[in-house]
Chain A
Amino acid sequence: AQKITQTQPGMFVQEKEAVTLDCTYDTSDQSYGLFWYKQPSSGEMIFLIYQGSYDEQNATEGRYSLNFQKARKSANLVISASQLGDSAMYFCAMREGNTGKLIFGQGTTLQVKP
């Protein structure tokens, strides 16, 4: 069965430092997509970054990068130079190749300290 595991329920990071949020996945599909979303307390699910299973380069979007290790089935999110506004819940998700359905992990709450 498809599954996303986020083992860190909560994380703290000092402002301006980098932080890595862990995500491992389980799938037998050859084609799939991996996403990271940010959900502030308002509830909106904000798209951060996407990595396709056939992409050889790690995805980057501004301060966000995805450390994709296919053999280990991991897709960790790296946030560089953390800002106070980065405090939120972060979800890793996998898109099933044949259905398009998103499967989410349980999320990691990130708190950035001034």
Chain B
Amino acid sequence: KAGVTQTPRYLIKTRGQQVTLSCSPISGHRSVSWYQQTPGQGLQFLFEYFSETQRNKGNFPGRFSGRQFSNSRSEMNVSTLELGDSALYLCASSLDRAGGAFFGQGTRLTVV
């Protein structure tokens, strides 16, 4: 069974640009959650999608958005990038709210 796939693995963007990250969950998993990891703030929850609906959202500005498609693949978008958005972005795949949560390899975003 294939694991969670995140693309791209690395990105370098300029301030003010926008970026889209992709996450393909484990086959059969309908829940996809996104997390931001920085040295200063640790791991922080961004949002969770289940069956194409956003169920939960963390405390991030509106520049951070996401969506989920009918095949459960999810995308995360960050608009008007700031230097502080430089981070490792991880997505987690689950059947639902209970049970295991499995992560992809992450996308390392650098904003210059």
Partner-B contacts on A (CB < 8 A): 33, 35, 37, 42-47, 50, 52, 91, 93, 95, 97-104, 106-107
Contact = CB atoms under 8 A, between A and B. Distances in A.
Contact of B103 (A37, A98, A100, A103): A37
B55 A100 contact: yes
Q: Mostly helix, strand, loop or mixed at chain B's interface? A: strand
B43 A104 contact: yes
Q: Mostly helix, strand, loop or mixed at chain A's interface? A: strand
B41 to A, nearest CB: 10
B31 A100 contact: yes
Interface in B54-69: 55-56, 58
9 contacts: A43-B90, A43-B105, A44-B103, A44-B105, A45-B90, A52-B98, A100-B33, A100-B48, A104-B42
Contacts of B97: 95, 97-100
A43 B89 CA distance: 10
A102 B58 CA distance: 11
A23 to B, nearest CB: 14
A40 to B, nearest CB: 11
Contacts of A91: 43
B104 interface: yes
Interface of B: 31, 33, 35, 42-43, 45, 48, 55-56, 58, 88, 90, 92, 94, 96-106, 108
Nearest to A105: B42
Contacts of B101: 35, 47, 95, 102
B33 A102 contact: yes
Contacts of B56: 99-101
A91 B48 CA distance: 20
Contacts of B31: 100
Contacts of A44: 103-106
Nearest to A42: B105
Contact of A102 (B55, B92, B98, B105): B92
A103 B101 CA distance: 12
B103 A47 contact: yes
Contacts of B105: 42-44
